[in-house]
Amino acid sequence: SQKIEQNSEALNIQEGKTATLTCNYTNYSPAYLQWYRQDPGRGPVFLLLIRENEKEKRKERLKVTFDTTLKQSLFHITASQPADSATYLCAGGIAGNMLTFGGGTRLMVKP
Amino acid sequence: DAGVIQSPRHEVTEMGQEVTLRCKPISGHNSLFWYRQTMMRGLELLIYFNNNVPIDDSGMPEDRFSAKMPNASFSTLKIQPSEPRDSAVYFCASKASRNSYEQYFGPGTRLTVT
């Protein structure tokens, strides 16, 4: 079955450094990948979308890549801040509706 | 806009009882999704609607689960009878159209079945 896999271990980094989160997909070829942020007790919030024909997308301090050869997306937060601490979810979609979500990676940015 | 509204925010019930979760999507959005999130299984899609019509319910665990969308501004997810393994956070999400991508999630309903 189609799967989206993210590192389940928390990522701890120092404020000001670049955080890099990994998303791998197996058993299918998503037409696009989305990244969401989820804070404790709240619903996910959309951050970025990247299509399979795009190599890289940027939004302010965020950058996402899509490598169809490696079947992987990387999500970067540059100049990280403690306020960036949250769980980040990767999701893959084929058509315009259904998403398959990964388990999320918790990011902790220490001051 | 108030965003996606879900009620109740918390629900505690006993095994065997009926549970109804409610969702009001963002006005003008015509796709609605119900998800379930647990530590073990992550965020799973249960069912989604386009223009109030159920399109894919393959994620609904079993016949104890049912969902309806009687109009564009309201949807329910019902569990009857509930079981302890149904304990999870249930999210409703909406998006603007079939061809849009960004989903807007509600705050979720935390369900505990004892």
> 3-class DSSP state for residue B112?
strand
Task: Show residues of chain B in contact with A44, CB under 8 Å.
Answer: 43, 91, 103, 105
Tens-digit pLDDT string for chain B (114 aa): 689 999 999 999 999 999 999 999 999 999 999 999 999 999 999 999 999 999 999 999 889 999 999 999 999 999 999 999 999 999 999 999 877 889 999 999 999 999
Say if the Cβ atoms of B105 and A45 lie within 8 Å. yes
Beta bridge partners of A31: none
pLDDT at A67: 96
From the list B93, B98, B106, which residue is nearest A96 (CB)? B98
Asked whether the beta carbons of residue A98 and residue B48 sit closer than 8 angstroms, the reply is yes
A104 touches chain B (CB under 8 A): yes
The CA-CA-CA angle for residues A95, A98, A102, to 5°, reads 115
Residue A1 has pLDDT above 80, yes or no: yes
Burial class (CB in 10 A: 0-12, 13-18, 19+), A99: buried
Question: What is the per-residue pLDDT across B79-99, written as a single tens digit (0 to 9) for each?
Answer: 999 999 999 999 999 999 877
Q: Which residue of B has its CA nearest to A101?
A: B43
Cβ-based neighbours of B12, under 8 Å, separated by 6 or more? B112, B114
Interchain pair B48, A101: CB under 8 A = no
Cβ contacts of A47 on chain B, cutoff 8 Å: none
Interface mutation vs chain A, best among B53, B103, B104, most A CBs within 10 Å: B103
Would you say A103 and A85 are in contact if contact means Cβ atoms under 8 Å apart?
no
Q: Give the integer Cα–Cα distance in Å for B29 and B102.
A: 11
Per-residue pLDDT at A97 exceeds 80: no
Write down the pLDDT at residue A96. Answer: 61
* Nearest residue of chain B to residue A87 (CA atoms): B42
Instruction: Tell me how many residue pairs between chain A and chain B have CB atoms under 8 A apart.
Output: 51
pLDDT more than 70, % of chain A: 99
Is residue A102 less than 8 Å (CB to CB) from chain B? Answer: yes
Tell if the CB–CB gap between A103 and B104 is shorter than 8 Å: no
Say if residues A73 and A23 touch (Cβ distance below 8 Å). yes
Q: Determine which of A36-45, A87-96, B79-88 has the lowest per-residue pLDDT on average.
A: A87-96
Residues A89/A38, Cβ–Cβ less than 8 Å: yes
A34 touches chain B (CB under 8 A): yes
